[in-house]
Structures are given as C-alpha cells and as structure tokens.
Amino acid sequence: MDHPSETLRHKCAACFRQFNKIEHLVEHMRLSFHSLHEPTCSLCHKHCRSFESLREHLIGPLPKQECNNIFGTRGCKICLAIFESPHTLRLHQERCQLRSPNSSQTMARFRNMGIYDKLTSDNGRMRRHEAVALACRMVGGGSDGSLDICARVCLIDENETIIFSTYVNPTLPITNYRLESTGVGPEYMRDHAMPLKQVGKKIEDILCNGEPMWKIRPGVGGKARILVGHGLGDHLKSLQIEYPPFMIRDTAYYPPLMKTSKLTNSLHYLTQAYLGYDIQNENKDPYEDCVATMRLYMRMRSQVHKIEEYPLASDPQNKNNFAIWKQFELERMSPEQMLEVSRSDYYCWCLDSKLN
C-alpha cells in the first residue's frame, strides 16, 4: 500500500487524477496544458477543460457531492460562480441572467432601407471599438440548394449597436431561399440587396479600421478590430473575406465553451446555458446571433485570472517547461510546482482585456 504522502505526490494539482508513478504524472502535465485559465471549481479548486465539465462536476448526474450540496444553495447555474449567501446569489442573478434583445423593434427602422451603415450615417466618423460581432443568414445555391450562400449580414459593436446591416446579392444564383430559417425572400434580394464584392469590401474596412490588412499584428497598439461570431469560418468564406486568425474569437471553437467531447455547441445552447435566455428563432434575424456571440465574448473576456507575462505554452519562453531533457528535474517537483509552470494551449479571451 502506498504511503498517503506518496499518493498525494502523484495526484495532479489541477484535475486531481492520480498516478502510480511520478513519471506518469509528469507526462500527464506535459500533455494536459493545465493552467489558471481553465474553468475551476471555487470550492475544491478542481480544474476542468470546459464549462460543461465544470457544470457536470457541480450539478451533473454524478457530481462531487460536497460541491453539489453547497452549489445547490449558493451557486449560479448560468455562470457557475458560488456566492457567500443565498441573498448575494439573488442579487447576482438579476444581473447574470440576460434578456433577449428586441431585434424586431431595432431592425424595423432599417428593414425598408435594406442597407444600414452606421459608420456612413455618422458622417464618416470611424467609431473605434475593440470588437465587432458578425452573423449571416445563408440561403441555398447549387443544383440541390445545399451550397451555403450569404444573403444577409449584420455587424454590431460592443454596445450591441448595429454598425452595418444589409441583404447581400450573391454572385451565384439562389436555388433555395430557405425561407423558414432565413426570412429572406426574392423581394428583398431584388429591392434591397448590396453586391457581394461591395459588402466584403465594406466589412473589411470596418474590421481593419484604417490599418492595412498585411500590417495587422496581435497585441497592444493596433487599430484593427477583433471579430466575434459563431462558426465564422463559413461566414467569412461565403463573404469572400480573409481575416487573420489571431483576430478572430469564435464561440463555436473556444475550448471553455465546447463540449466535454471537444465537439462544438450550438449558439442556441450556449445562449441558453451561459446567458440565461433563448434566442427568438421566429425573428430569423442575424442581429440576435450577433448580440448572443458578443455577450458570450464579453462574459468570457471579463473573467479575472492571474496575470502572467507569458501565458501560452506556445510562447518561446515556455517551450522548455516540460522538455524531455528536464525529466529528472520535473520528477523532483511537487504537483503544485508543476502546475505553476504549466501553461495553456489556447488563447484565453481574458487576455483581450489587457489590450485596452
């Protein structure tokens, strides 16, 4: 039987997995990329790969009972935070549970116009915002109507204000309007649509914010805007836009918002689970998708994590943290010391708050 101290020594300080040999723990730390940016239980301090894993730990079918008991009376089921008292929790929930935006009223003023350009309507002044959210409505092209073609696009800023909205006249013929899911009919394309090339150029101008595309760099000092959305790869492809990946924040592929199986969650699920309301699908309005993704982004960005000078495992300063040639040194470390030098393998959106 292992001595208790030896068992503790082989227990991961992040996810609490236990290993028979210290070299197995070292290998686990080498591959797991545990970090202070992972969703963490504020009671037992267990690190989870995603918020869905944390939710299972707290209120899943087989939760940790001690944490589940406390969470049941003082835990927020939306953000998964735990508070000092039920009263503090009630005050928090009033702010944490958001409401669906009334997009029907917001867009009614622009529906007959077809095109709404906030930057132009403000006498050409470029309003500088750190992030903009984009969403599209796709109709069908091709012989069977299965080819996704953007027919409507919307962009909003961090204040949920529409800065650009238009129907899009594609270069390919539309063979299926998918009216039930898009709300787009032939009359909108005939009377209100903007040419695809012109739309792409306008969106690129908004994103680059006066900075040449080839000059855009990550970090502080640039003028280009961060682009937020859900499944942005398909949207940008349909709009024929290329934008640097390091400037994209996609809620479909952000590890803390993905399933425990590392598959993507739908925007409808993420909005319900982490914002506390349902997207009103009957409106068929990309504005609501923009608002949902922007709110998810802002909520993730507002998380407070300890500041690290080099937070990513891919930073050159961290490339040797778990190098094979340091095996003997690593085996002499405690689990807590190994966690201290471990770094994240994804870019945490909380780091964007440092770019202001």
pLDDT score recorded for residue 198: 95
The residue with greater pLDDT, 280 or 264, is 264
- Model confidence pLDDT, tens digit, residues 289-347: 999 999 999 999 999 999 999 999 999 999 999 999 999 999 999 999 999 999 999 99
Of the candidates 79, 81, 78, which has an alpha carbon nearest to the alpha carbon of residue 67?
81
Average pLDDT over residues 99-126: 56
Sign of CA dihedral 277, 283, 287, 293: positive
Residue-wise pLDDT tens digits, 131-140? 999 999 988 8
Q: What pTM did the predictor assign?
A: 0.90
**Could you tell me which residues come within 8 angstroms of residue 100 by beta carbon, excluding any fewer than 6 positions away?**
277, 278, 279, 280, 288
Percent of the chain with pLDDT over 70: 88
pLDDT of the residue at 321: 96
Classify strands 162-169 and 147-156 as parallel, antiparallel or unpaired.
Answer: antiparallel
In the prediction, which pLDDT does 134 show? 98
Q: Give yes or no for residue 79 having a pLDDT over 60.
A: yes
Count of alpha carbons within 13 angstroms of residue 266, beta-carbon side: 5
Under 8 Å between Cβ of 226 and 249: yes
Query: Is the pLDDT higher at 282 or at 287?
Result: 287
Q: CB-based contacts of 210: which residues, under 8 Å, 6+ apart? A: 126, 223
Confidence band for 5, pLDDT divided at 50, 70 and 90: very low
What's residue 85's pLDDT?
94
Tell me if 249 sits within 8 A of 295, measured CB to CB: no
Average pLDDT over every residue of 165-176? 88
Q: First-to-last CA distance in the chain?
A: 54
Residues 12-46 have pLDDT tens digits of: 999 999 999 999 999 999 999 999 999 999 999 99
Evaluate if residue 125 carries a pLDDT over 50.
no
Rounded CA-CA distance 175/338 in Å is: 57
Other Cβ atoms closer than 10 A to 157 = 21
Say how far apart CA 68 and CA 58 lie, in whole Å.
Answer: 5
Q: How many CB atoms lie under 10 A from the CB of residue 265?
A: 21
Whole-number Å distance between alpha carbons of 182 and 179: 5
Confidence band, pLDDT 50/70/90 cuts, at residue 145: confident
Q: Is 40 exposed, middle or buried (0-12, 13-18, 19+ CB in 10 A)?
A: middle
Parallel/antiparallel/unpaired status of strands 193-195 and 162-169: parallel
Can you tell me the distance from the alpha carbon of 196 to that of 168, in angstroms, rounded to the nearest whole number? 6
- Mean pLDDT value of segment 72-97: 95
**pLDDT band at residue 233 using 50, 70 and 90 as cut-offs:** very high
Helix, coil or strand: residue 208: helix
Query: What count of other Cβ atoms lies within 10 Å of the Cβ of residue 313?
Result: 17
Contacts 24+ apart (CB under 8 A), 51-54: 51/80, 51/256, 51/257, 51/273, 51/274, 52/258, 52/259, 52/260, 52/265, 53/260, 54/80
**Residues 120, 98: Cα–Cα separation, whole Å:** 31
Residue 259 has pLDDT above 50, yes or no: yes
Q: Whose CA is closest to 319, among 339, 351, 341, 347?
A: 341
Residue 127 has pLDDT above 50, yes or no: no
pLDDT bin (cut points 50, 70, 90) of residue 114 is low
